[in-house]
Amino acid sequence: MASISKETGGRRRIQFVDGNGKRRSVYLGKCSQRFAENVKLHVEALAVAKGGSVAVEPATVKWVREISDELAGKLAKVGLIEPRERAALKAFIDGYIAERADVKPGTRIAYRQTRRCLLEYFGDDRPLHRITQGDADGFRLWLVNHEKLADNTVRRRCGIARQFLRVAVRRRLIDANPFSDMPVSVRRNEKRYYFISLAEAAAVLKACPDAQWRLMFALARFGGLRCPSEHLGLRWGDVDWERGRIRVHSPKTERHPGGESREIPIFPELRPYLEAVWDQAEPGTEWVITRYRDTSLNLRTQLLRIIWRAGLREWPKLWQNLRSTRQTELAETYPLHVVCDWIGNSAAVAAEHYLQTTDEHYRQAVQEAAEKVVHQPVQLTHENPGESWKPKREDPRKPKVFQGLPQCTKVQIGPGGFEPPTKGL
């Protein structure tokens, strides 16, 4: 059993006997009797559990989670609970990123971008358990108003923040993830889609500086490859000229079963550019792309310059829209599951982020509708179509009360009328 001792100045302390028979004290400082009694009840429960090696009651477990760090430290000092491990934000995130040696370079860049935003908003020494759901909402608004980030970029940053804090929950550093209810799924943004027509593709190919650059553009526009990971992973041993196929190694999807590689046809639009690089390759050359393998090269910036040189305006997502355009084209001819196998995504991802509605779709729909009108005119079954739906007019010669009744034969009515003669009259 525990007891409450009142000291001068309104200060109180809880006294109890631990499992070794030693009297211990928890100094509460100046507090109310009601607060002290509540602490006393939980101290008794903790002491019983500690001494008898029994489970702590759920209500006491919840109470321990919610108490202040100061009171938790006092309970830990007398051996009632384990010392709290309170990690600061910067130390935790840096440790987690250092552990993730398995992620791709692009993912590591995204981690660091989110880290910078979190530390700038919360501070390096912010304890993880002091970040609330309201703080998470404030962080999201800060990304929008201060960082001026697009909606999908905000969703990605909050998604990575949620990932960080989910690890903290699993390690029992915090009880709940403040970002758990945050909307983080990337949404379709029609404004960032663009269909690169064959004429535009031809102009870009003409402006490319050499055969390898033309092949890189063609692999994305006509083969649907991801740039640069799938371009730079392509070997001549992956090209099967006889069967007309190319094996594409995909670092992005290799963690999924069967996603480490896929096969695509050597499409007729792609073949000339592939053959041109093959003809220039030295005997024994392993990689298809040899001149632009330096990872420090910014292929997006170079493609942007080529587009300007071609006299065109850049489209929003330079490389991804090339893949999106190709998948939209192929989906017009082949079943969607076949196209997804070639492009390397799922039907759900294709519908949400790749397939486009183009001007050609509208033109074709209008043309087909016009042809149906010409070849299949509407047949009218009434000479005057404007009156075909109208109800028949009532016969003005019939009283309304009798209209709709069948015609009766004429009967001569005698002087007695319809009624039979009444007896006695």
Mean pLDDT of the chain: 85
Its domain, for residue 129, covers 89-187
Of 192, 220, 215, nearest to 327 by C-alpha is: 220
What average pLDDT score do residues 233-252 get?
Answer: 94
pTM of the predicted structure, to 2 decimals = 0.59
Do 19 and 72 lie in one domain? The reply is yes
Contact 88, 124 (CB under 8 A): yes
Do 69 and 113 lie in one domain? The reply is no
User: Domain count of the chain?
Assistant: 3
What's the CATH number where 263 sits? 1.10.443.10
Q: What is the pLDDT of residue 50?
A: 79
Q: Determine the Cα–Cα distance for residues 299 and 228; give it in Å rounded to an integer.
A: 8
Do 273 and 335 lie in one domain? The reply is yes
Q: What is the pLDDT of residue 421?
A: 60
pLDDT for 354 beyond 90: no
Q: Is residue 412 part of a domain?
A: no
Domain boundary among 161, 187, 213: 187
Do 274 and 296 lie in one domain? The reply is yes
Bridge partners of 247, per DSSP, are 263
pLDDT in tens, 62-107: 888 788 878 888 888 888 888 776 789 999 999 999 999 888 888 9
Q: Is residue 425 part of a domain?
A: no
pLDDT for 365 beyond 70: yes
Do 67 and 151 lie in one domain? The reply is no
Do 222 and 150 lie in one domain? The reply is no
pLDDT in tens, 378-405: 554 555 555 554 555 555 555 555 455 4
Domain boundary among 153, 170, 187: 187
Q: Determine the Cα–Cα distance for residues 218 and 222; give it in Å rounded to an integer.
A: 5
Q: What is the pLDDT of residue 297?
A: 81
Bridge partners of 265, per DSSP, are 245
What average pLDDT score do residues 350-375 get?
Answer: 79
What average pLDDT score do residues 214-226 get?
Answer: 95
Q: Determine the Cα–Cα distance for residues 205 and 306; give it in Å rounded to an integer.
A: 9
Q: What is the pLDDT of residue 392?
A: 55
Rounded alpha-carbon distances, angstroms, from residue 414 to 385, 407, 421: 51, 21, 12
Contact 179, 158 (CB under 8 A): yes
pLDDT in tens, 249-272: 998 888 778 788 999 999 999 999
Q: Is residue 163 part of a domain?
A: yes
Of 274, 285, 296, 282, nearest to 214 by C-alpha is: 274
- 195 is written with which tokens? 């269909």
299: Cβ–Cβ under 8 A, 6 or more apart, which residues? 216, 227, 228, 292, 319
Q: Is residue 402 part of a domain?
A: no
Locus of tokens 């949404």: 187
What average pLDDT score do residues 46-64 get?
Answer: 82
Do 54 and 110 lie in one domain? The reply is no
Do 344 and 210 lie in one domain? The reply is yes
Do 206 and 284 lie in one domain? The reply is yes
Q: What is the pLDDT of residue 380?
A: 47
Bridge partners of 27, per DSSP, are 13
Residue 63's identity, in one-letter code, is W
Lowest mean pLDDT among 12-21, 138-147, 160-169: 12-21
Which ranges of 80-237 would DSSP assign to H, the alpha helix?
89-99, 105-122, 133-145, 151-170, 198-207, 211-221, 229-232
Do 115 and 60 lie in one domain? The reply is no
Which ranges of 53-88 would DSSP assign to H, the alpha helix?
58-66, 69-77
Q: What is the pLDDT of residue 412?
A: 58
Q: Is residue 362 part of a domain?
A: no
113 confidence band (pLDDT: 50, 70, 90): very high
Q: Is residue 371 part of a domain?
A: no
What's the CATH number where 158 sits? 1.10.150.130
Q: Is residue 383 part of a domain?
A: no
Domain boundary among 166, 187, 208: 187
Q: Is residue 64 part of a domain?
A: yes
Do 205 and 140 lie in one domain? The reply is no
Do 216 and 349 lie in one domain? The reply is yes
